[in-house]
Amino acid sequence: MKRMNELLVGTILVLLICALFLAPAWNYWHGRWLRSIAGNTVATDEELASPEQKRLGKRMSAVMLVCTASLLLLLGSTYVRELGGFDFVGVAIFMAIAGIVGSCAWVCLATWRDNRAIQKRSQQDGEPLSEDAKLDRRAGIVLAVILGIYLIISFVVAPLAKG
């Protein structure tokens, strides 16, 4: 009974975290809260209204949905194991890591590709390159570092602390 109570508390926490992922996902998809994306904190309203920023918002929304799905997959696999079913928690962890890393890599590569196209267009037109379209890999590096820390804490430190 104690184990099921712990599982219930964990479920409530996971659902709260899922809500925290779904709120930005919804707003990014609709073109809001784009300033909260790394590299957009000083973007002007005009820059945030650009098609490139709208695409970035949709991509980040997809990442948030993948993170939510990963959490729910891990929760579901834990319930199946605890209720005496097949133990596929290891597979669920691998799928969660692959999904999160893959979606983050997709965002970085797609944004880099968009920025390259903008750079080529601005060179052909002789226009100066807008600040948000400069090829800046810092956002991707920051995302990778944050993701790495998250994954290490989630899948290495937490199980070791549990014992």
Q: How far apart are CA 47 and CA 137, in angstroms?
A: 18
* Pick from 125, 113, 122, 129: nearest CA to 55: 113
pLDDT at 163: 53
C-alpha distances (whole Å) from 96 to each of 16, 131, 137, 138 are 18, 34, 25, 25
Q: Residue 59, Cβ neighbours under 10 Å: how many?
A: 21
Q: For all residues of the chain together, what is the average pLDDT?
A: 82
pLDDT digits (tens, 9 = 90+) for 71-86: 999 899 888 888 888 8
* More confident: 117 or 162: 117
Tell me, what DSSP letter sits at residue 75? H
Q: Which of 53-57, 110-114, 147-151 has the lowest mean pLDDT?
A: 147-151
Buried residues in 66-93 as b, exposed as e (16+ CB within 10 A) = bbbbbbebbbebbeeeeeeeeeebeebb
Tell me the pLDDT band of 137, cut-offs 50, 70 and 90.
low
The whole-angstrom separation of Cα 6 and Cα 56 is 38
Contact indicator for 107, 99 with CB cutoff of 8 Å:
no
Q: What pLDDT, on the 0 to 100 scale, is given for residue 15?
A: 93
Q: Is the pLDDT of residue 99 over 50?
A: yes
For residue 147, pLDDT over 60 is answered with yes
What pLDDT band is residue 50 in, cutting at 50, 70 and 90?
confident
